[in-house]
């Protein structure tokens, strides 16, 4: 099993834990640290929607809270025909904590696309602007 396959598999497992009673849009993410550890995350909805947190941010925050600081890839898995990229807020945080990493998009039907973060977020705001 290749490195991308491991991340996709971890994201699929994380998706199983999604709490999405309002939208029924279940998302899983998996973030690979440069140490080799993989951190899964799922979306967690709230009735106000505004307090909902995306799977990608859960994975990032989990990794950061466990002491990781370097990351080299992230995967996002949904059950949609069209692959679902990270939202704008997630793109900002992925850039902030991971930089220009590969973003592996996949669905449950086996469709996979790999793109660089710079393609999804071509003009990021980061510490170079401060």
- The model's pLDDT over 33-91, given as tens digits with 9 standing for 90+, comes to 999 999 999 999 999 999 999 999 999 999 999 999 999 999 999 999 999 999 999 99
Q: Which of 107, 26, 102 is nearest to 71 (CA)?
A: 102
Classify residue 125: in a domain, yes or no.
no
Q: Which residue is catalytic, options 3, 45, 56, 119? A: 56
Residue 44 lies in a domain: yes
Q: Mean pLDDT throughout 84-108? A: 98
What's the structural domain count of the chain? Answer: 1
Instruction: Supply the pLDDT for residue 1.
Output: 76
Tell me which residue range forms the domain holding 43: 3-120
3-state SS class at 81:
coil
| Annotated catalytic residue 56 | yes
Task: Evaluate whether residue 46 is within a structural domain.
Answer: yes
Q: Do the domain assignments include residue 130? A: no
List, in sequence order, every residue forming a beta bridge with 116; answer none if it has no partner.
102
CATH of the domain at 116: 3.40.140.10
Q: How confident is the model at residue 127 (pLDDT cuts 50, 70, 90)?
A: very high
Partners of 28 in the β-ladder: 42, 77
- pTM of the predicted protein model: 0.96
50 domain-assigned: yes
Is residue 129 one of the residues assigned to a domain?
no
CB 10 within 8 A of CB 37: no
Q: What is the pLDDT of residue 17?
A: 98
Determine the Cα–Cα distance for residues 21 and 121; give it in Å rounded to an integer. 30
pLDDT over 90 at 115, yes or no: yes
């Amino acid at each position: 099993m290749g490195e991308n396959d491991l991340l996709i598999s971890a994201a699929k497992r994380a998706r199983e834990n999604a709490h999405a009673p309002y939208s029924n849009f279940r998302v899983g993410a998996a973030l690979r640290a440069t140490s080799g550890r993989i951190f899964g995350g799922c979306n967690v909805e709230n009735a106000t929607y505004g307090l909902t947190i995306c799977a990608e941010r859960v994975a990032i925050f989990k990794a950061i809270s466990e002491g990781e600081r370097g990351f080299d890839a992230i995967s996002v898995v949904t059950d949609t025909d069209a692959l679902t990229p990270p939202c704008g807020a997630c793109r900002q945080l992925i850039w902030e904590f991971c930089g220009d990493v590969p973003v592996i998009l996949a669905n449950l039907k086996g469709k996979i696309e790999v793109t660089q973060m710079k393609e999804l977020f071509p003009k990021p705001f980061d510490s170079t602007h401060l």
